Structure formats: structure tokens, C-alpha cells
Amino acid sequence: MNIGIISEALNHPLTGIGNYVNKLIDQQNKILVPDDSLVLINYEKNYTFPNDEIIVSNIIPFFKTFPWYLTLPDKLNSYKDLDIIHNPAQVPTFFRFQCKNVITVHDITPLLFPKEHPLGVPAFFKLFLPNTLKHADLIISDSHNTKKDLIHHLNIPGNKIEVIPLAVDPIFNVISAAEVKVMKQKFHIPHPYILYLGTLEPRKNIPLLLKAFASVKKTEPLLKLLIVGGKGWKYSGIFDLVNSLGISKDVVFLGYVAKEDIPALYCGAEVFIYPSLYEGFGLPPLEAMACGCPVIVSNSSSLPEVVQNAGLLIDPYNCSELVVMIKKILNDSSLRDDIRKMGLERAKFFSWEKTAELTYEAYEKTF
């Protein structure tokens, strides 16, 4: 097969979809047979991989992404050697490619939670995504939950959707106490802490975590809450709530943290909490489990599917339930160790090698 992968997600800091694209290309390069080829499709040159590239100019550089995707099919249809084009970032193209077309849909949050996305994004997806999926020869989803959403909300036939889970980078593993100590010194963390990692946006449900933390602080005065992640949108209320709860000295916003520092943050945490209202997959809890950190996650969307019985599940609208679970983890060392061990075992089920192999098999099914 001559495979083209749209690599535009590599142009931005590698979080979420960017990590997926990066690992997919890396592992695909390792499993290709001699008769295969893999080219990258982008509007600027990539220096991460040795693959040949097709550079397609972006007609409206100011917008960087969306207009470029809409003109892609017309521009790529002149490349007759491509057998299949994989769009791993789920951005709609609307028009059909002449060769086989595979698209990964990580979630449909622009359609399910339109008020929690930047202005214009929900309308763009509502206008273009249905036709893009209609024209696709195969759709890959990260989870059975996303597959269910595609069937229920967009009437996509189930036999057109292949579920292929994500994985975590090998950097996420149990590290030494000495390395954790160095990390704590670097970020000035002298006290025990709860950890959250993710974008600051409404869907992540951070206010629930802040309220629960404020309650737990009454009996755990030394405990801190570390919030790692960049500002997304509609995040100002988070900072307002911290002030109104009187916990500004105990909540540390670290912002974007380099990937190499994150395993130590997971390993040093008492518990990782991810109270998100909706996830297409949910990589941070899996990263935490791979580092031996006990996790508490929402019982919504794909998170139970990923974590299963290797973490504690909570109602994302029930603050008192989260408070109880945090106190259980903090005060019951036996439970904490059990959750930690089960998380490590669960994390072994996922690997980028497996993701790449299943993706390659999915390509073959389109012929």
C-alpha cells in the first residue's frame, strides 16, 4: 500500500491528537513491509520523521488549519500513486478523496457540547463532518463510546467503524523516589498533593475538583492541588472559584509542563483525579496508571471503558462522592496500593505498537 497520513497536527505542541499522530507515524514506519510506502501530508515541512512529504500550500495561512483541510481533497487528487489517505485529526474535509479514505474520530464534542468550544468550531463541524464521514471508506474511533455516539447522533453504520484504542508513551512508567524528589524541588512542592492534568475548559469539570478539594482540606491542612495544563477557553471562572473558596494558597497552577517532567508528577501524587464530563478516550488517567498513580475518574463517556476496575469511578456531578473517594485513597493505604497495582496491570493492555498494527489491518479492510 501507498499510504498518505495527514500530519498537520504535528505543527502544534504535542498534546492529545498531536501525540496520537506522532506515535502512529512512528510505529507505522516500524511495521511497513518493503512494498509499502508512507508519506506525510502537510502545509509545512516536518523535521521529525524521514518520510517523503507532500507539501500542500495553505491558501489562508492566518487560520492555519480549517481552510487547509477543505482544499486538501482537490489538491491531493492529482497524486495518483496514493492508495489510501488517513486523516487522523478528525477535522472535516467535506469533499471526497479519489483514493481510499480513512478518518479517525476521537470524539464529537463540537456537536455534543457546542457551548464549550471556541466560536465557529461547532458550526464548522456541524456543516462539514456528516458529509466527511459519509464519504469515508472507514472510520476509526478511539473507544466504543465514540462509536456509539457516531451511530446514535450521526447515523453512521456500525460496520463502517473500527474501534482502535490509544496508548501512552513509554516515558510514562514508575520512576525512582530520587527522580520524584528532584521534580518536587524543581516545582517547589514540599507537601503531599493531588494531581489534575488537562486543558482548562468547561468540559473538564475542574470546579467539581476545586470544591471537593476545599472540603478535603479541612481535615488535610498540608494537602495541595496541582493543576497541570494550558488555558483553553472559558477558564476564568476556575480562578474566580479558587479565590472564592479561599484555597488560592493551596492550588498550584503549573500551566504547560514538558512531557519529560510529567511522569515524576504522576509518581509523586497521592492520587490523580480526572472528573471530566466527556472524553473520547482519556489519555491522562491511563498515563497516571502506567506510572503507578491511583486514579479517580468520572463514570461518564469512555472513561469507565479505559479504566475499568483499575480506578475509582465517581458521578461527575456529585461533589460529596468525590470527597469520600479522595479521603478513602488518602487514608486507606491498602486500597491505595490495590488501585495502584491494578492500574499498572491495566496500562499494560495498551501499546502504540498494537494501535499501529490494528490501524494497518484497518487500512487493508478498505480494499
Residue 189 shares a structural domain with residue 279: yes
Q: The domain that contains 63 carries what CATH number?
A: 3.40.50.2000
Residue 254 shares a structural domain with residue 355: no
Residue 293 shares a structural domain with residue 233: yes
Joined grid coordinates for residue 96: 471526497
Residuewise pLDDT in 10s, the chain (367 residues) = 999 999 988 987 777 788 899 999 999 999 998 899 999 999 888 888 999 999 888 777 666 667 778 788 888 888 888 999 999 998 888 778 889 999 999 999 999 988 877 778 899 899 989 999 999 999 999 999 999 999 999 999 999 999 999 999 999 999 999 999 999 999 999 899 999 999 898 889 999 999 999 999 999 999 999 999 888 778 889 999 999 999 999 999 999 898 899 999 999 999 999 999 999 998 999 999 999 999 999 999 999 999 999 999 999 999 999 999 999 999 999 999 999 999 999 999 999 999 999 999 999 999 8
Residue 106 shares a structural domain with residue 183: no
Residue 182 shares a structural domain with residue 64: no
What pTM value is reported for the model? 0.90
Q: What is the domain extent for residue 119?
A: 2-167+351-365
In a domain, 297, yes or no: yes
Contacts of 277 (CB under 8 A, 6+ apart): 113, 203, 204, 205, 298, 300, 301, 316
**DSSP strands (E only) in the chain:** 2-6, 37-42, 53-55, 84-87, 100-105, 138-141, 161-163, 193-197, 224-228, 251-255, 271-274, 295-298, 312-314
Residue pair 139/132 in contact by the 8 Å Cβ criterion: no
Residue 206 shares a structural domain with residue 122: no
Cα distance between residue 129 and residue 121, in whole Å: 11
Residue 111 shares a structural domain with residue 246: no
Side chain identity, residue 112: L
Q: How many domains does the chain have?
A: 2
Residue 106 shares a structural domain with residue 189: no
Residue 129 shares a structural domain with residue 186: no
**Look-up: residue for cell 503531599?**
192
In a domain, 172, yes or no: no
Residue 322 shares a structural domain with residue 359: no
In a domain, 213, yes or no: yes
In a domain, 39, yes or no: yes
In a domain, 51, yes or no: yes
In a domain, 306, yes or no: yes
